[in-house]
Amino acid sequence: MSIADEIKKLKKLLDEGVITQEEFDKMKKGLIPNTEKQIVEISKDESNNIPVLPIKKKKPFGCLGCFGIIMIFPLIIAVIAMTSEKSEKNTEKNELTEQEESKVYNEKLKPEIDKIMKEFDITHADYWKSTLLQFSEGSLSSTNTYKNLKSGEERYKWLHGTIGDLKGDFLSKENKKLLSEFQNAYQMTMIKRQIAHKDMAKAINESNLKPATDADIQKLMEESDIAMMQAAVKLTQLEVALGIKRKE
pLDDT tens digits for range 192-244: 999 999 999 999 999 888 888 889 999 999 999 999 999 999 999 999 999 98
The three-point CA angle 71-72-74 to 5° equals: 85
For residue 44, the 8-state DSSP code is E
Q: Is 51 helix (H, G, I), strand (E, B) or coil?
A: strand
Q: 225-238 burial, b for 16+ CB within 10 Å, e for fewer?
A: eebbebbeebbebb
**CATH among 1.20.1440, 3.30.230, 1.20.1630, 2.40.160 for 96-241:** 1.20.1440
- The predicted structure's pLDDT at residue 121: 95
C-alpha–C-alpha distance, residues 108 and 98, integer Å: 15
The radius of gyration of the chain's CA atoms, rounded to the nearest angstrom, is: 39
pLDDT tens digits for range 25-74: 877 777 665 544 443 343 444 444 444 444 444 455 454 454 455 556 55
Contact 160, 191 (CB under 8 A): yes
Confidence of residue 5 (pLDDT cuts 50, 70, 90): confident
With CA atoms as reference, report the closest residue to 113 among 194, 168, 49.
168
